Structure 1
Amino acid sequence: MPVECREKIVDEPKPGAIAGALLAHYDTHARNLSWRVSPSDRRAGVRPDPYRVWLSEVMLQQTTVAAVTGYFERFTSRWPNVEALAAAPDADVLAAWAGLGYYARARNLIACARAIATDHQGRFPDTEAGLRALPGIGDYTAAAVAAIAFDRPSAVVDANVERVTARLFAIETPLPAARIQIRACVSDITPAARPGDFAQAMMDLGATICTPRSPSCLLCPLAQHCAARGAGIAESLPVKPPKKARPQRIGTAWWIEQDGRVLLIQRPGSGILGGMRALPDDGWSARSDGNAQPPVTGQWQRIDAAVAHVFTHFSLGLALALYRGPQIDKVAIENLNGAVWWPVEEIAEAGLPTLFAKAAAIAIQHR
């Protein structure tokens, strides 16, 4: 094992002992997930579908299993393979993604599906290098798909695996600097046989036993190998840097309703909530507040309610104003990108991102 791992352990366990203990536990306690092939099915010769593995890994980035499950099932029911997803209109995919957050993932999903369908005859590359060359696939996703779908001995490191490994080897270097060492350790203990199951077993261990708070060390199949447990410091690892305060931004969304239809626009393809249908707003961003200027002149009623929403790098307080007249003609809105009059009764089908879905709900209460 490399120095980075070896120097942390007095009685160094063999990598094979770690993998063997964890895989034995996984064979009995693996989570039943919609996108996963169970250990018993794997032994019976069932192979994971690379499309389902890839789709689940993209959805699970910074999102919980509980939040992803329903989306995954709806996506795979509507688009059962990568060719079907590649042929889907952007607006349909973005609408189906609405509420899952981190919308750049959806745009990358579309681009990647089309690259696979067009340039790879609908087949996923079976190596990390080949997968990394696809749009929107980074190191983690490439490693996960390579290991789980193709049994490549790749070092798969998500947040759960990061935590398990930091504790297993008592890595006290703070994140993110520790990630090079963590990845080296994961690479060392990943077995040549069943690397996909091993990766999923590590994820399960972090999700169910080696949890951020109050890890269940007495239930852990790797307890006897864990240096942090032996030192009594398991719960303090991994060491994380202090969180930076998010800047607070303010903006306004505009509800324009006429004849039972509300005006929606399409946000620019890049940037926050890119390509999504939304209510018109006043140009707020991560760097600045909105300008409070409505998209059309007329009578406006400001609602005494606001939507609080947290993005990765900032928080937003979104106020809401309702248009009260006069009637708007087509010329007044022709400069609004993708403007469409949407039936209010069908607003749930518009695929609004969570921020604007909350704003719409408030507006409907005050119509």
Structure 2
Amino acid sequence: MEFDARDPSHEVDGVPFHTLSRIRTEQPICPSPKGGWYLSTRRHIDTALKEVETFVADLAPMAGLSGTEVVPAEELFLSEIPEPRHGRIRRLYNSNFAPHRLRNTEEFVTRTCHRLLDPMLDAGEGDLHAGYAMPIPSATLADLMGLPPEAGEKFMGWSFDGTLMQRPGTPGIKPTGPAILDYFRDALAGRRASAAAGEEQPHDVIVGLMNAEIDGVPLSDTEIVTQLQFMVMAGVHTTRALLVHLAHRLLRDRELFERVSADRDLVSPLVEESLRHDAPVQATTRRCTHDVALDGVEMHAGEWVEVGIGSANRDETVYDDPDAFRLDRDDPRDHLGFGGGPHICPGATLARIEASCAVNVLCDRVAEMSVVAGATYPPLPGGMSHLPIPAKLTAK
């Protein structure tokens, strides 16, 4: 038995959760057809996510690299940086995305949601993906970074054309890396020139990283632009998938939409159940740093391990009725939608704010949503990268 977590057919046909259920029972650690292993149970995945020095994040394959290249330390994304520096860089993320730093973000996100819904309600229909869910995280990150609104549009463009996840060394990319790095280099140079001129500096993410020190040493420009790129990668792709999943589910389930509209206390459990049941990231990749045995399965140094977050979130030994979408879970936040262990997503608070605002504004403004006759809808979860979610909308 084997399972390919990256099978492109999942984008069209949906994730085969019935197969994953059988794998969890019969062979919870199974081979991947492209080499390496697939972990399917919550127990094994909790172990992999906690043992970060054994199972290290390596995003090279996502950038089109083979994984054998030596990426300079300054160009490692947050999840790839080894301890103890990982924890120190992570604290910079936490300081920029901590709840007290996001007090004004809810207001910005709410205004953005209203702005995006206005033309859709005027027209009586719209694409809940490209017209609503996707621009929200891009615009929010641009605002937090102190960048002009067009930066959010650039983030979306780079997300769609596939360059957002590339890096220096990716085949076909110039040595300095993708366009997003050039954009951030220019923005950083502007901040430094402004500071040198004695101008008052805003309290945004770029300035926060620019003024940060680790063990008394400032971050290099390469480190800063690399982490800014990673923030956009993580904040656009995953949060956008969460928002699309939420909008899509409310569109397809009229009773659920009516329940949440009538009782806003259900918005939080709705978001958490979406993160569990419709995990925005179904699998994440790790690489073994040394030979290790997991429940008797021998894994060797350099082997790739696919961590099946979507499968773990439906583990029958952890959740009652795991395949049902329910808003009455005893512990709604008991899921791996943001990963787990010491490398759990530092942007979780921000993503929850964006998701709650997106749902609340839909409920505030929309009396009824319905599917468009003849339209093709992607499976849920999955298939949310590029496909539209057309909807007929009736304003309140």
**Fold in common (TM above 0.5):** no
Higher relative contact order (CA 8 A, sep 6+): 2
Computing the radius of gyration from Cα coordinates, the structure with the larger value is: 1
- Normalized against structure 2, the TM-score is what? 0.20
Q: Going by fraction, where is helix more abundant, 1 or 2?
A: 2
